[in-house]
Amino acid sequence: MSIYRILLFSLVFFLLGLSSAQAWQQVQVDVELDEDKSFQELQQQGLRSGYSQAVIRESQRIVPGELSEKRKEMLGEHLDWRIDDLILGYRIFSREEVDDRLLMDLEVNVDTAALRSILQRTGVYYTSTAPWKYDLSTRGSGPGDFGMLQRLQTITGVEVDSDAPTSVSLTRRQDGSWSGVIDYKDITHEVTGGNLYSVWSDLWAFFFTRPEVMSEMTMDFTLKTTGWATTDAIMHFDEMILSWDEKVEKGSILYIHTDVPSYRAGWTLTTLNPDLLKKRLGEYLPSRGVYHTIDENTQ
């Protein structure tokens, strides 16, 4: 394959990756009319509600497991302050006043890549199928802090277990600031912050982005395929497989080779759910005349 064609394929895969990094979600909004608010203010209120709905729907689509209604509600509140950064655009399909309500049908474009990163750093992506066990100790905290702590545990998806290898120590200082330490095997990380929320978020963001932790939660595979009729078919599959957010955490193409009259292609894939991924590949590829093997990568 010529260098020109390799560069062309790389550009196309990059552009396809950009298109798979966003998603449109259709939502319905119901806003109570208020004579003290202008129509623009009511519409903005409706849009804000629609944004939140779209982000939560996209969150559920991305994660491998089912989020409870309680967890989705708390996650929505957790994401509210950064919601504007997650919205790429919107379209209003219908808008009407019925009785004392403003009803709107919207389609909201969500930045899937940015949202996915947040869900991974908060732990939601990795704990949607089962909670992560950890041992907790606190010092200096008051009754009001435990309510916040319970909410943070629900959002992150962690559950207290005194025998767990992961431990977190939280300390509220006399000046009201907080410090925290997370320990896991040979990993220790300490942070300080002005409140419990920031310290908790920083601790678990560090934890869920450590390669040592990821290796415990995910599996890496090499997918080898042969029998593709055209490079267009390979490109379409590459775009599609990266959109399987609940099945593929990350993936990248390794090669494309010409075997006249067909093509071969390979990918490296990381998943939290190997069985679900293998099942989906087994449903999709053979029906298109493509033979495939998927092998676990071992170090």
CATH number at residue 101: 3.10.129.140
Please check the confidence at residue 177 and state whether its pLDDT lies above 80: yes
Tally helices (H) and strands (E) across the chain: 10, 12
Q: How many CA atoms lie within 13 A of 193 on its CB side?
A: 14
DSSP string, 62-127: HSSSPPPHHHHHHHHHHHGGGHHHHEEEEEEEEEEEETTEEEEEEEEEEEHHHHHHHHHHHTTTTS
Final residue of a structural domain among 184, 215, 246: 215
Final residue of a structural domain among 164, 188, 215: 215
Secondary structure (3-state) at 297: coil
> Cβ atoms within 10 A of the Cβ of 79, count?
22
Kindly list the distances between the CA atom of residue 298 and the CA atoms of 1, 126, 170, 187, 222, in Å, as whole numbers in the listed order: 30, 21, 37, 22, 10
Give 23's pLDDT tier (boundaries 50, 70, 90): confident
Contact status, residue 239 vs residue 19, Cβ threshold 8 Å: yes
Q: What is the pLDDT of residue 246?
A: 78
167 within some domain: yes
Please check the confidence at residue 103 and state whether its pLDDT lies above 70: yes
Of all residues in the chain, the percent with pLDDT exceeding 90 is 68
Query: Residue 131 carries which DSSP code?
Result: P
Same domain assignment for residues 145 and 106:
no
Taking the C-alpha atoms of residue 183 and residue 289, their distance in angstroms, rounded to an integer, is 49
Q: Which of 5-19, 157-171, 210-224, 231-245: highest mean pLDDT?
A: 157-171
**Predicted model pTM:** 0.81
73 within some domain: yes
Taking the C-alpha atoms of residue 104 and residue 97, their distance in angstroms, rounded to an integer, is 9
Could you list the residue range(s) of the whole structural domain that residue 185 is in? 132-215
Final residue of a structural domain among 169, 199, 215: 215
Q: What is the pLDDT of residue 14?
A: 38
Taking the C-alpha atoms of residue 69 and residue 131, their distance in angstroms, rounded to an integer, is 16
Q: Which residue do the tokens 């410090």 mark?
A: 179
Q: What is the mean pLDDT of the chain?
A: 88
12 within some domain: no
Please check the confidence at residue 2 and state whether its pLDDT lies above 60: no
Please check the confidence at residue 123 and state whether its pLDDT lies above 50: yes
28 within some domain: yes
Mode of pairing for the β-strands spanning 22-32 and 101-111 = antiparallel
Please check the confidence at residue 1 and state whether its pLDDT lies above 60: no
**Number of separate domains in the chain:** 3
123 within some domain: no
* CATH code assigned at 228: 3.30.70.260
Same domain assignment for residues 209 and 235:
no
Taking the C-alpha atoms of residue 58 and residue 23, their distance in angstroms, rounded to an integer, is 8
Give 299's pLDDT tier (boundaries 50, 70, 90): low
What's the angle, vertex CA 114, arms to CA 108 and CA 116, rounded to 5? Answer: 95
* CATH code assigned at 204: 3.30.160
Same domain assignment for residues 67 and 140:
no
Please check the confidence at residue 126 and state whether its pLDDT lies above 70: yes
Cβ partners under 8 Å of residue 218, min gap 6: 249, 270, 271, 272
> Cβ atoms within 10 A of the Cβ of 33, count?
13
Same domain assignment for residues 211 and 224:
no
Contact status, residue 196 vs residue 163, Cβ threshold 8 Å: no
Q: Which of 119, 122, 127 lies closest to 205 in space, CA to CA?
A: 122
